[in-house]
Chains A and B, each alone.
Chain A
């Protein structure tokens, strides 16, 4: 299997493929977030009438999913490859399948299926219909047609593809432990690069993070967001919503948010995201 793509070549291959299809190739957003969807290139750009095509890698932080580097399949931080095409083209499925061929998955040798999976993000006030794409029973991509973002109708509709890069790479390389992935072809593994990060981040997120300061950070993000909304600055406002969302995720990992409070916090973040989206649409109009 040494002919298979390394982790970094997988990314480069996708960049080239989607770049050739008119996507701007962006760099990761320089903020902590739970999913590639949170990137303003997806959330804000999916609103309003203007066409848009972008592809980028987004590091995702999910503090509660951390396992101190001990679980071969779970990580507290990982990478998503995100593609957004607006309006969604008629051949979106074919374009997507073309990308799978490009990274070495032969659909006559593997079982590719589109299995119903409707997507919803309560913190973004967003939802869409689509599938999880299975390759031999493994979910490798989330495929969604956005219907609403920030509580606003998406017109035209954005098609979103989210590849789970580690899973896809594990699949292509035939590896059972994420830390054994070949990161490049010069002998560096995923574990060499990130295992220590996983250990330390898990310890920080579950045991160390100062919850008083986190609650304070949440309040600050809310205040900053509101300030930006008042000043009609949708992008900085939205960035503060991203920040509040990540602080909330860390508080959850620390186990200090009860089930009853959880909904209230999600609602708070959603209100911020909605206000930022509303300001974005107003400014564009």
Chain B
């Protein structure tokens, strides 16, 4: 057994591709050796800008000779099955054995040495490597992410010979491009990492990441500052350096007039610098860059060069900022009529018009408690920054720039904040706005897009959701639930409808219920509990729904709840088995009345004729002769008004508690009472009583939908 070292030396691999490349290297290596039957121990993978490396421990000396019998298709199977089997085994039909109506193949595997298998593995790795983008170079036909220059392949101390389009494996590689430009000879897996370290290459990306993370922090601390941690930058810089050296420099404090986000973004995106804050949390006029060299002047020239580049960039940013501040957002907003939002939904100006109206409606209906004029103002200015130079340069700062400009131009803070935050929440885990003006604009903006796209046939399908409507719906639900906004989704959807679009109310409502299930699943609520509540909650008030679901979840997790659910199922099963619909009435299904979702089943009870009949029949009082029957009846008599009052008052815990009081009587009833009594009158009475029990429970939540 020996350790195997593989290094693929190339020109600079893009930083963003390295993590995935390491995973693929390990995966492909394990796959190739696995298929060949070569056993190896632990596999470590490394990457630097110029190399991908792998060390496999304890590689077996080779594979043993083996015979293996493979079972094929039945002789009677269609010919394609046989063809596939022959392809897979590489045999011909006359080499197969026929036994008991089935084909069998015997595969002979010769003993193979590890070196041979590894050489094949390297060839396959290079040929099949799934780079996101690969290229050719020179006159060759080989493809790699950038030109491939060398292969180190050592099993123990011996070279695994392989020649890939003129790139020949060996034991030599190169050190750091500038510190150690010459060849270095590697002894094997055991000295690879240390030998390269001696030549200014830290092979292990995690070690480089640590050097950057800790070094950048230390240099900031030295100046009494706090580094703004940015793990993405740490990884990216580790992918750009073989010998990382964090260096700190400063820029002119006058640039701090530019919005903080712009400075941080310029530093991060364009220059890959870290930013720092002072002890008041304000941005400090410094940057931390990561050089790939231990410079002879300790980095003085590098810091000065980087400072000048950053100054030029910030000067550009400041130019845009100063231009933008001069133009009132109101003026900028006029240009939005020239920007198409979506061909079917009109321009951004059209959208603004609708959003302003909807946001104002939210306030005027008392759904969101905010200043209606501020809300409308914020809505009308919310998208104006899209035409500013700043957002042109930094599209990811949409909203943020508008917020700064609004504040600088004297808009009230509530308006400026609403402009800044109205895109939120973006995705789960993002902060959900709570400021009322912001909530109104954010809600209106998302509702307008969601309903509009549905109306014009642009709803998400399968994995395609080009307008991020699923995210919009989750954002709407988060805004509603976090802020306890009491609104019927039906009204909200109607208010958001675009003129001239199709009626998509039902589809959108269903979409929200699906999203709610997904959102609640994250909170540990299973979908059947939501179905059970949706069946009895038809107004589409999400706040109410979530409270009811939560109470139901808590209840079914208690002993009372679980037992009641069992009893409920038993009652429902008996009624179903007996096809019992109450003697007087046919079942709601038979009457063509939708039971759930669309309409509240309770309307049945509100109907003057039907209601009375139900009441008379369901009371089942007359002639109850057994104690347990009487006990259940009085329990129902007591629980029903309590439950409905509690539901009315939205005290769902109390409603559940009322149901809990039925647990003992129903259990006793099942223990002692024979429902299918030979006496038809008794049977009818008891079935009616069970029906009453079922329906009482159903009024709190449709227990038939609960699984388990």
Q: Is the CB of B11 within 8 A of A93?
A: yes
CA distance A129 to B116 in the complex (A): 34
Please, which residue of chain A has its CB at the minimum distance from the CB of B270?
A137
CA distance A138 to B310 in the complex (A): 9
CA distance A157 to B135 in the complex (A): 10
Q: Is the CB of B135 within 8 A of A145?
A: yes
Taking CB atoms and an 8 Å cut-off, the chain A residues in 221-274 that contact chain B are none
CA distance A171 to B312 in the complex (A): 12
B91 adjacent to chain A (CB < 8 Å) = no
Q: Is the CB of B301 within 8 A of A73?
A: no
B302 adjacent to chain A (CB < 8 Å) = yes
CA distance A138 to B307 in the complex (A): 10
Q: Is the CB of B240 within 8 A of A108?
A: no
Number of interface residues of B (CB under 8 A): 43
**With A108-B295, A108-B296, A111-B292 in contact, do A137 and B136 touch (Cβ < 8 Å)?**
no
Name B147's contact: one of A90, A115, A138 (CB within 8 Å).
A90
Q: Is the CB of B305 within 8 A of A136?
A: yes
Sample of 6 A–B contacts (CB below 8 Å): A88-B137, A106-B296, A108-B179, A108-B293, A128-B135, A137-B305
Q: Is the CB of B15 within 8 A of A110?
A: no
CA distance A155 to B137 in the complex (A): 9
A118 adjacent to chain B (CB < 8 Å) = yes
Name A109's contact: one of B289, B297, B312, B316 (CB within 8 Å).
B297
Chain A residues, Cβ within 8 Å of B315: 72-73
Chain B, residues 159-193, CB within 8 Å of chain A (1/0): the string is 00000000000000000011100000000000000
Query: Closest 5 interchain pairs by CB?
Result: A136-B305, A116-B14, A114-B12, A137-B306, A111-B291
Name A156's contact: one of B12, B139, B310 (CB within 8 Å).
B139
Chain B residues, Cβ within 8 Å of A147: 135-136
A276 adjacent to chain B (CB < 8 Å) = no
**With A136-B302, A137-B305 in contact, do A112 and B178 touch (Cβ < 8 Å)?**
yes
Name A71's contact: one of B11, B12, B306, B319 (CB within 8 Å).
B319
Chain B residues, Cβ within 8 Å of A114: 11-12, 49
Chain A residues, Cβ within 8 Å of B136: 145, 147, 155, 157
Chain B, residues 257-293, CB within 8 Å of chain A (1/0): the string is 0000000000000010100000000000000010111
**With A72-B315, A73-B316, A110-B301 in contact, do A129 and B133 touch (Cβ < 8 Å)?**
yes
Please, which residue of chain A has its CB at the minimum distance from the CB of B179?
A108
Q: Is the CB of A118 within 8 A of B305?
A: no
CA distance A87 to B138 in the complex (A): 5
Please, which residue of chain B has its CB at the minimum distance from the CB of A94?
B181
Q: Is the CB of B138 within 8 A of A157?
A: yes
Q: Is the CB of B147 within 8 A of A73?
A: no
A73, A87, A115, A137 — most chain B CB neighbours (10 Å): A137
CA distance A48 to B16 in the complex (A): 33
CA distance A159 to B139 in the complex (A): 11
CA distance A115 to B18 in the complex (A): 13
Chain B, residues 33-49, CB within 8 Å of chain A (1/0): the string is 00000000000000001
A146 to chain B, nearest CB (A): 9
B569 adjacent to chain A (CB < 8 Å) = no
Name B289's contact: one of A93, A97, A137, A155 (CB within 8 Å).
A137
Taking CB atoms and an 8 Å cut-off, the chain B residues in 9-56 that contact chain A are 11-12, 14-16, 49
B334 adjacent to chain A (CB < 8 Å) = no
**With A113-B292, A116-B15, A137-B306 in contact, do A108 and B178 touch (Cβ < 8 Å)?**
yes
Chain B, residues 491-533, CB within 8 Å of chain A (1/0): the string is 0000000000000000000000000000000000000000000
A41 to chain B, nearest CB (A): 20
A135 adjacent to chain B (CB < 8 Å) = yes
Chain A residues, Cβ within 8 Å of B413: none
Q: Is the CB of B295 within 8 A of A137?
A: no
Name B139's contact: one of A73, A87, A110 (CB within 8 Å).
A87
Chain A residues, Cβ within 8 Å of B553: none
Chain A, residues 102-130, CB within 8 Å of chain B (1/0): the string is 00001111111111101000000000111
Chain B residues, Cβ within 8 Å of A176: 308, 311-312
Name B301's contact: one of A87, A130, A136, A156 (CB within 8 Å).
A136
Q: Is the CB of B292 within 8 A of A157?
A: no
Chain B, residues 98-138, CB within 8 Å of chain A (1/0): the string is 00000000000000000000000000000000000101111
Taking CB atoms and an 8 Å cut-off, the chain B residues in 210-243 that contact chain A are 240-241
B136, B241, B291 — most chain A CB neighbours (10 Å): B136
Q: Is the CB of A90 within 8 A of B149?
A: yes
